[in-house]
């Protein structure tokens, strides 16, 4: 059995939504000191919908693939739905990650939550 699924390899080789949103409504940055991975997520939110999402990830292939897949899963979705995204859902969407790489999907979940927290700090009147 291959170590990584085709989906992991595809999102690693052709990551979606890479980059920066200059006037982002929410920015979240998280890191894992143990492995050295750092993820930064940028959200553009319009009428409670994630209109755009971009990421910058410094890390291994699993971290890049997890970031890419996570952005695909929340783009165009209501904020409330993005808040429900779990690392398990990210890993499942990638057709699985090796156990020792599951922390990469956790980072993706945490980066999104961090960006949404930032959004709510900047927009305290926004409905959840």
- pLDDT (tens digit per residue) in 71-114: 999 999 999 999 999 999 999 999 999 999 999 999 999 999 99
The active-site residue, picked from 104, 108, 112, 115, is: 104
The active-site residue, picked from 18, 35, 89, 102, is: 35
95: region left, alpha or beta (phi > 0 left; psi from -120 to 50 alpha):
left
For the entire predicted model, the pTM comes to 0.94
Based on the residue annotation, tell me whether 60 is a catalytic residue of this protein: no
Based on the residue annotation, tell me whether 104 is a catalytic residue of this protein: yes
**Quick check: 105 and 66 in contact, CB under 8 A?**
yes
Residue-range domains of the chain with CATH = 6-122 (3.90.1010.10)
DSSP run (H or E) holding 13:
helix 6-13
Give the C-alpha separation, 108 to 114, whole Å.
Answer: 10
């Amino acid at each position: 059995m291959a170590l990584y699924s085709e989906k992991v390899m595809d999102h690693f080789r052709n990551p979606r939504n890479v980059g920066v949103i200059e006037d982002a409504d929410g920015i979240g940055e998280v890191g894992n000191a143990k492995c050295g991975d750092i993820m930064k997520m940028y959200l553009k939110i319009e009428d409670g919908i994630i209109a755009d999402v971009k990421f910058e990830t410094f890390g291994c292939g699993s971290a890049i693939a997890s970031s890419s897949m996570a952005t695909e899963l929340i783009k165009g979705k209501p904020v409330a739905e993005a808040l429900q995204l779990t690392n398990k859902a990210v890993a499942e969407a990638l057709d699985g990650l090796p156990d020792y790489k599951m922390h990469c999907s956790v980072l993706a979940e945490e980066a999104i939550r961090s960006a949404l927290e930032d959004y709510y700090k900047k927009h305290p009147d926004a409905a959840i």
